[in-house]
């Protein structure tokens, strides 16, 4: 891992976000007035100026906010890695950016315009030309590839909260299989819109108890936890084969040693009892990394601040790590930035890098 970039509710930049979290800064605040009548009125919202972050006017006008985030985070990662694009073999340079929802604000805005115009021909004329590419979930990955000339493996992973983590794991596999030398990987999400936020409210999984105390709302593993706080953002990392990184004299942050994926096939939103699916996932990651439970010093938990997740996640960790679980450092950055859905795992991959433990394990 040789480069990092992030757009988060506490800062723009991977290193900047880490520093802000170490200072205890909270990025959770009240939403605009459109959420005043919702039971949940808080979110990890980002003040983001795409022009100030290097995006051109045409790129801004033709793409969704989640693509803006991804482009900014990818640009930071390329700069951080000191990557000389002129010397990179483009055919062996890939990009995988995950997103759970994509450019949902374009969908909402165009639906309103379409209905107001009366459908038919007038409705057709009201629809923006770039509606489809702006809203689909793989546009961010494609736009990042165009920006940096990445002609290797390119696609989007859409697996809800695990999208960014799965994107990074998929990138690892392409490197291991000899299909690429370097990969941009991560996740991006910008779903804080009236309709989408209402949909999450309807699921009754978001916290509504702390609307007047935003910084207290997201409290993973706390006995008074009452639901998750929705957020937005992006995280992108650069992965290279060891040979490629050493050959160009890159600064190597860490080795991505193992990856695991599983499905508990239990319920559309509720985890399996005792975290059975998560247990198998962690065991698979340890096996893939050729590590034992005792090798792990820190776990970056999913830690959503919901009753079911935090309980079953704790049970799964105890099951996998046994007595060593008492020696582990465990935290969830969602306490400060909320749950950024498909971007969550990627942001966590970025901001945990400066934490110097022998082995890191991220759960999503």
Beta strands in the chain (DSSP E): 3-7, 29-30, 42-43, 93-98, 154-155, 182-189, 233-240, 298-300, 329-331, 360-362
- Domains, the chain: 3-102+137-362 (3.40.47.10)
| Number of other CB atoms surrounding residue 144 within 10 Å | 26
**What residue ranges of the chain have pLDDT lower than 70?**
353-364
Distance CA 241, CA 255 (A): 10
The burial of 78, by beta-carbon neighbours within 10 Å (0-12 exposed, 13-18 middle, 19 or more buried), is given as buried
pTM of the model: 0.95
Query: Which tokens in the block code for residue 261?
Result: 């994926």
Predicted pLDDT at 269: 83
Predicted pLDDT at 221: 95
Predicted pLDDT at 363: 59
Alpha helices in 83-162 (DSSP H): 104-116, 120-126, 131-135, 139-148
Predicted pLDDT at 270: 86
Task: Give Cβ neighbours of residue 347 (< 8 Å, ≥ 6 apart).
Answer: 6, 8, 17, 164, 187, 233, 234, 235, 333, 337, 340
Predicted pLDDT at 352: 75
The catalytic residue positions are 161, 302, 339
Predicted pLDDT at 351: 87
Predicted pLDDT at 361: 59
């Amino acid at each position: 891992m040789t480069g990092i970039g992030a757009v988060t509710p506490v800062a723009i930049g991977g290193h900047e976000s880490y520093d802000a979290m170490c200072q205890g800064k909270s990025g959770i605040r009240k939403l605009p007035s459109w959420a005043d009548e919702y039971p949940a009125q808080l979110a990890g919202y980002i003040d983001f100026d795409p022009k100030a972050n290097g995006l051109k006017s045409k790129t801004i006008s033709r793409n969704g906010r989640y693509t803006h985030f991804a482009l900014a985070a990818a640009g930071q990662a390329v700069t951080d890695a000191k990557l000389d694009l002129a010397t990179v073999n483009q055919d062996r340079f890939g990009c995988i950016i995950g997103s759970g929802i994509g450019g949902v604000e374009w969908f909402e805005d165009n639906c309103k315009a379409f209905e107001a115009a009366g459908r038919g021909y007038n409705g057709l004329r009201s629809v923006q030309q770039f509606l489809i590419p702006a809203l689909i979930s793989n546009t961010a990955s494609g736009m990042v590839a165009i920006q940096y000339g990445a002609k290797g493996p390119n696609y989007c992973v859409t697996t809800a909260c695990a999208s960014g983590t799965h994107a990074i794991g998929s990138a690892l596999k392409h490197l291991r299989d000899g299909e690429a030398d370097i990969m941009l990987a991560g996740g991006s999400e910008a779903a804080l819109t009236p309709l989408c936020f209402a949909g999450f409210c309807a699921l009754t999984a978001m916290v509504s108890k702390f609307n007047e105390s935003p910084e207290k709302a997201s409290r993973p593993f706390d006995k008074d936890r009452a639901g998750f706080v929705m957020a937005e953002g992006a995280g992108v990392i650069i992965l290279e084969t060891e040979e490629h990184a050493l050959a160009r004299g890159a600064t190597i942050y860490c080795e991505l040693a193992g990856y695991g994926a599983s499905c508990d096939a239990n319920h559309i939103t509720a985890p399996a009892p005792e975290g059975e699916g998560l247990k198998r996932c962690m065991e698979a990651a340890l096996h893939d990394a050729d590590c034992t439970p005792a090798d792990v010093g820190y776990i970056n938990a999913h830690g959503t601040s919901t009753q079911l997740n935090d309980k079953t996640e704790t049970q799964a960790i105890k099951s996998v790590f046994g007595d060593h679980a008492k020696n582990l450092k465990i935290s969830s950055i969602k306490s400060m930035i909320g749950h950024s859905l498909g971007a969550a795992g990627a942001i966590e991959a970025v901001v945990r890098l400066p934490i110097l433990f022998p082995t890191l394990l991220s759960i999503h």
